[in-house]
Structure formats: structure tokens, C-alpha cells
Amino acid sequence: MNIRKLEQSEHEKTRILWEEIFFEDTKEFLDYYYSVKIRENRIYVAEDEDGIHAMLHLNPYTIMVNGKECKSNYIVAVATQEKYRHQGLMSRLLQIALKEMYEERIAFTFLMPAAEAIYTPFDFRFIYEQKVGYIKGSKKQLGEHILIEEMQEKDAQEVAKFVQDHLRERYNVFAKRDVSYYQMVLEEQKAQNGGICILRDDGKIRGCVFFAREGECELREPVFEKGYEAYLGEMTERIAKDRTCKVLAWEDERAKEKRPIIMARIVHMEAFLELFDITEDCEQEFYIEDPILEANNGFYRIEKSKKVHAERCAKPEDGKRIMKVADALRLFEENEKVNHIFLNEVV
């Protein structure tokens, strides 16, 4: 079985496998994915003379970490035909993807697992829980200057600035919101019989929410200027009328459910540590063990001089703290400046 990265012109070949494995996805959603996302992503496959039998996609995102931009990849569409499972194909695909990302100095990668147990052996760990609740539309009379409307492509820059400013105040790790991000998400939501709903007061954006009406009605990432949160009910009425909607990534006391959805893995240890604002309080040293990306193995020293020193060595010195690469993700949790995470991307 040959493992390789496809040329951009070959990406369309994987659609047959996607339709076979992820049969619940609609034609409209796949038309979106194979016209938009494959323009810039990477796809690794396992194939022989009979065709492609397994695949893994890397979709690029710019992630904000404590005010710094870093390139990352969202791993999606990890799939193997049933008769070719349990032959190590996924492991080989994942390892080649991780090694190529290491060469590019990608700090970390992330995914939404079908099952946690699949990815823990590869040193992925959960880093983000999504809050979930339910809401039904409200028919209260809107104020004189309040307007609820669906976002158009011309609104992308205004919406991006509104949400980016909001997320920067509340979270330390999130996907960068710019014009291209909202153009992409708008197409993604339309492919699910949805869109992006925005709230204006006196012409200025005060809130927005993604929505999909494919089967169950879902709202995602409601974001509001303080004091305008109550209008989500009116927006829901506009979107779904009398239907009750599930609300994902809802920072509200009505969101009673929490579900872990995003796992991450450190790819380039030194690049990962450089994302932190190094102060005297986080000065420490440790030895990292990484069974897959052996180039990460070595001794790391974080100094109050705001520098990360890495010494590649095969074995830790006696008495030195040893840390598995998966455990190093706890640095996200331990550092109060980067433990507020908001990652809700679909593909």
C-alpha cells in the first residue's frame, strides 16, 4: 500500500471515499467542501492499483494564542474503507502528516475525534469543552432601531472585526476572524441550509450567530455586545420560527451541557513553548519524550529572560523532570493567560 500526499489537482479523487464513509453528509455540503476547502488543504492517502482506501485531510487555520498568530492544521476526514481497517493505515497517514508539520514548525494540530481512544495513543488530548443549550424563538416586539438580518458577503469585514474584538477580550486561543474566514463560514452555513444572522442597533452590529437548518436546527457561537444577549430569542424566531434550536458554544447559564469536542497534539515543542508569554512565574525546565516525533526529544529550559532553550539529547539527565509530550499540553491549562479556549470549527 502506497502512502503519499496528493497533488492539488488530485484532491477531488477522495470524494468517493468521503461519500462512502461519511454518508450522512449531504451533496450540498460536499459540493461546498470540494469547491472551497480543497483549494488550500492537504490530503494524504493510502492507495494501491485499485484506488484510494484511506485518507486524512489537513485544513489550515490561523490560530490566535495569547495575541500571537500561529499557523495550525485542523485534521478532518480521517477515514479508512472497512475491509482495509486494522492494518495500520491511519497510523501511517497520521505519522507522515505530523512529521511534515514538524518540518514546517507547526506548534500544534487539533481535531474533533470520532472516539477519544483512537487518538490518545498518538498523544492527542482534549483541550476544549463546548457548552450546549436549547432555545426557542421569542416574538417580543423589537425596538425602533433594532434590525435582524442575514449577513451578506459585503458584511464580512464588519462582522469579522466585531467578533475578533469580542473574542480577543474573552479568550486566549481561537481561530483568527478575518474577511476570508467569514466568507468561508458563510458558504459553509449556506451548504447546510443556513447562514449567519446579525443584529444591528442604529446600524451598528451588536451581535451575530451562525445557523444551520439541515435536519435539526442548530445555532453556533452566539456573540453579543454586552446588554444585547437577550435578543438571541428574537434572532431564533427569525431563523427557526416555532422550532427549538440547539445552541453550540453558548456562553450562557442556560447552556447546561458541556461536551469535550477538540483534542490537540503538540507538533513542534519549541514553537509551542514560544507561544507563551514567559515571565519569572513560569520559569522551569524539563525533558520531553515524544515517541512519534523524536526530534522533539530533549531538554527544554524556559527562562525569565523570555527565551526558550532546547537541547536535543537522547536521554534525560539524572534527576531532571521528565514529561511526556501529551502531558505538556497541560501548560495550556496551567498558564492562566492561555487556558481560555474557543475552537468550534466544523471542517
- Give DSSP secondary structure letters for 268-312: SHHHHHTTS---GGG-EEEEEE-SS-GGG-EEEEEETTTEEEEEE
Measured distance CA(103)–CA(117) in Å, rounded: 27
Torsion on CA atoms 150, 152, 155, 161, rounded to nearest 10: 70
C-alpha cell at 142: 423589537
Measured distance CA(234)–CA(156) in Å, rounded: 22
> Where does the pLDDT of residue 309 fall: very low under 50, low under 70, confident under 90, or very high at 90 and above?
confident
The amino acid at 91: S
User: Does the pLDDT of residue 278 top 70, yes or no?
Assistant: no
Measured distance CA(169)–CA(164) in Å, rounded: 9
pLDDT at position 153: 95
- Give DSSP secondary structure letters for 10-32: GGGGGHHHHHHH-TTS-HHHHHH
Q: Which residue has the higher pLDDT, 278 or 102?
A: 102
What digits encode the pLDDT tens for the residues 87-102? 999 999 999 999 999 9
CA nearest neighbour of 195 among 207, 178, 213: 213
> Where does the pLDDT of residue 333 fall: very low under 50, low under 70, confident under 90, or very high at 90 and above?
low
What digits encode the pLDDT tens for the residues 124-146? 999 999 999 999 998 877 878 89
pTM for this prediction = 0.94
Measured distance CA(295)–CA(168) in Å, rounded: 33
User: Does the pLDDT of residue 336 top 70, yes or no?
Assistant: no
What digits encode the pLDDT tens for the residues 156-172? 999 999 999 999 999 99
CA nearest neighbour of 123 among 106, 105, 108: 108
What digits encode the pLDDT tens for the residues 203-248? 999 999 999 998 889 999 999 999 999 999 999 999 998 889 999 9
What digits encode the pLDDT tens for the residues 20-37? 999 999 999 999 999 999
Secondary structure of residue 93 in the 3-state scheme = helix
> Where does the pLDDT of residue 111 fall: very low under 50, low under 70, confident under 90, or very high at 90 and above?
very high
Identify the H or E element spanning 223.
strand 218-224
